[in-house]
Amino acid sequence: MSNGFEWIPGGKARSAVSRAPSLFSPHPSLSDAVNRKIIQSEIEGGVFLQDLPPATVLDIQTQHHLYTAVVLAENSVLICGHPEYCPEPVPVAVAGSTWGGSMLKRGFVGRGMHLEFSHPNYRTPITTSRIQQIRECPLCSSSPSSKGQSLAQVRSGRHGAQNP
> Which DSSP helix (H) or strand (E) runs through 33?
helix 32-44
CA distance 153 to 147: 11
What percent of the chain stands above pLDDT 90? 49
The pLDDT tens digits of the residues spanning 109-120 come to 999 999 999 999
pLDDT, mean over the chain:
77
pLDDT exceeds cutoff 80 at 100: yes
DSSP assignment of 86-115: BSS-EEEEEEEEESSSS-EEETEEETTSEE
Q: Is residue 94 within 8 Å of 115, Cβ to Cβ?
A: yes
CA distance 140 to 158: 9
Residue 138 to residues 6, 12, 55: CA-CA distances in angstroms? 11, 17, 10
The pLDDT tens digits of the residues spanning 18-42 come to 445 566 677 677 777 777 777 777 7
> Which DSSP helix (H) or strand (E) runs through 151?
helix 151-159
What percent of the chain stands above pLDDT 70? 67
CA distance 131 to 120: 22
pLDDT exceeds cutoff 60 at 149: no
pLDDT of residue 17: 39
Q: What is the mean pLDDT of residues 116-128?
A: 96
